């Protein structure tokens, strides 16, 4: 049997996601006993203690199915943002919501517009639906070129994706730029704004959630509990939008798409302001640490606002491999910026270990 002849057209052209080495794999490969893991934009503080307590309490109930519509979690999210619960759709990570949006809106021949480089899930979701992807390069300093972004929209565009702070560049879209996009994009194009890292930012001019965005079903904002709240292993995220939009997405959303433990832990995590503030402070300290390092070594580092940064090092792959041999895990290989590495902000000790190793690697070149 020639299985390729049976597979849906376009699937064979998609490159599967290839994750980097895990910390255990790195230890085994290089004979290490300790690894500094700064390659996945995880929260170095871990989850909220309140969320951990919720997991423990709920563990004895995992023989029961979760709430199929995540009502308790959606109510908690709605209260947190001050919106109607019907404006909230919970997902198995925000990746799940991205995929659902693509399945709801995209037909073969449609297209999405998205910045380049950015989070790869937008492109993958479009390609799975046999839609086209129109990439719009960021400016040289990795800020948004909103005029070019809007100009790329055409009659076949269904979704326009924005990531702010953008992954992997950490740069933001300002509120002024976001207003320009909304004012100059046709009403029939759904603008999807991924705010996965937005809560780490303290810039007052950044694009943010505001209630007026959801007065019509043309804007979706994406959020996750994987980053600020440290619940990456539970896979829980959500989207905010007008209820009319979710009415169609819910027709194809699988029931029980958010597991029971994740629903309980995420709802409680929203109430932990102490953990949230500590996570924001840790990111600010990390930005300052790597900013000093980049300035001291004459390296370009964009003015970013997430819990991670890019640093231009020349040969990103070679530097990443050299760092891995020293037990420091970072990320490289983003389209169009192969001369950069992405570093997640860790604890003070982890950041010091990373910059010491990076300095040693750069000095050997």
Q: What pLDDT is attached to residue 29?
A: 84
> What confidence tens digit (pLDDT) does each residue in 176-187 have?
999 999 999 999
pLDDT for the residue 13: 77
| Position 10 in a domain | no
pLDDT band at 364 (very low <50, low <70, confident <90, very high): confident
Domain boundary among 217, 243, 269: 269
Structure confidence at residue 341 (pLDDT): 98
Q: Count how many domains the chain has.
A: 2
CATH number at residue 200: 3.40.640.10
Q: Which of 209, 238, 269 is the last residue of a domain?
A: 269
User: 244: how many CB neighbours lie within 10 A of its CB?
Assistant: 10
* Residue 2 falls inside a structural domain: no
Does 175 share its domain with 120? yes
Asked whether residue 113 falls in the same domain as residue 224, the answer is: yes
Q: Which domain holds residue 289?
A: 18-41+274-364
Residues 235 and 301 in one domain: no
Name the percent of the chain lying above pLDDT 90: 90
**211 and 283 share one domain:** no
Mean pLDDT of all residues in 49-54: 97
The pTM of this model reads: 0.95
Q: Verify that 198 and 117 share a domain, yes or no.
A: yes
pLDDT of 365 higher than 70: no
Asked if residue 9 belongs to a domain, the reply is no
Residues 285, 195, single domain; the answer is no
pLDDT tens for residues 6-51?
888 778 778 877 777 788 888 888 888 889 999 999 999 999 999 9
Q: Report if residue 1 sits inside a domain.
A: no
Determine, yes or no, domain membership for 352: yes
Q: Are residues 173 and 256 in the same domain?
A: yes
Q: CATH no. for residue 319?
A: 3.90.1150.10
Asked if residue 209 is part of any domain, the answer here is yes
In a shared domain, residues 160 and 206:
yes
Last residue of a domain, one of 234, 269, 304: 269
User: Is there a domain that residue 296 lies in?
Assistant: yes
Residue 7, domain member (yes or no): no
Write the pLDDT tens digit of every residue in 190-208: 999 999 999 999 999 999 9
The tens digit of pLDDT for each residue in 98-140 reads 999 999 999 999 999 999 999 999 999 999 999 999 999 999 9
Same domain, 176 and 283: no
pLDDT of residue 33: 87
**Same domain as 290, residue 230:** no
Give the three-state DSSP class for 280. Answer: helix
Q: Are residues 87 and 24 in the same domain?
A: no
Residues 348 and 329 in one domain: yes
């Amino acid at each position: 049997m020639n299985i390729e002849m049976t597979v849906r057209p376009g699937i064979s052209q998609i490159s599967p996601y290839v994750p980097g080495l895990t910390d255990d794999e790195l230890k085994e490969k290089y004979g290490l006993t300790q690894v500094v893991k700064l390659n996945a934009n995880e929260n170095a503080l871990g989850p909220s203690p309140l969320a951990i307590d919720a997991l423990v309490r709920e563990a004895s109930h995992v023989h029961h199915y979760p709430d199929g519509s995540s009502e308790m979690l959606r109510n908690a999210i709605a209260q947190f943002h001050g919106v109607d619960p019907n404006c909230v759709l919970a997902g198995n990570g925000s990746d799940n919501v991205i995929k659902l949006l693509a399945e709801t809106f995209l037909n073969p021949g449609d297209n999405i517009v998205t910045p380049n480089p950015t989070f790869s899930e937008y492109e993958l979701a479009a390609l799975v639906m046999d839609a086209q992807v129109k990439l719009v390069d960021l400016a040289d300093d990795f800020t948004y070129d909103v005029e070019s972004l809007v100009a790329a929209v055409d009659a076949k565009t269904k979704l326009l994706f924005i990531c702010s702070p953008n992954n992997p560049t950490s740069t933001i879209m300002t509120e002024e730029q976001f207003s320009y996009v909304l004012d100059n994009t046709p009403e029939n194009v759904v603008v999807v704004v991924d705010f996965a890292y937005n809560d780490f930012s303290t810039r007052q001019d950044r694009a943010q959630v505001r209630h007026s965005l959801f007065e019509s079903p043309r804007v979706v904002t994406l959020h996750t509990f994987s980053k600020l709240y440290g619940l990456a292993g539970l896979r829980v995220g959500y989207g905010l939008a007008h209820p009319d939009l979710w009415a169609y997405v819910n027709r194809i959303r699988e029931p029980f798409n958010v597991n029971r433990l994740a629903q309980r832990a995420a709802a409680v995590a929203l109430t932990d302001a102490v953990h949230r503030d500590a996570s924001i402070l840790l990111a600010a300290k990390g930005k300052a640490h790597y900013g000093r390092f980049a300035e001291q070594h004459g390296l370009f580092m964009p003015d970013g606002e997430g819990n991670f940064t890019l640093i231009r090092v020349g040969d990103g792959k070679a530097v990443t491999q050299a760092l891995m041999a020293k037990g420091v895990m970072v990320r490289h290989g983003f389209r169009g910026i192969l001369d950069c590495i992405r570093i997640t902000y860790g604890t003070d000790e982890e950041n010091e270990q990373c910059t010491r190793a990076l300095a040693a690697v750069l000095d050997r070149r």
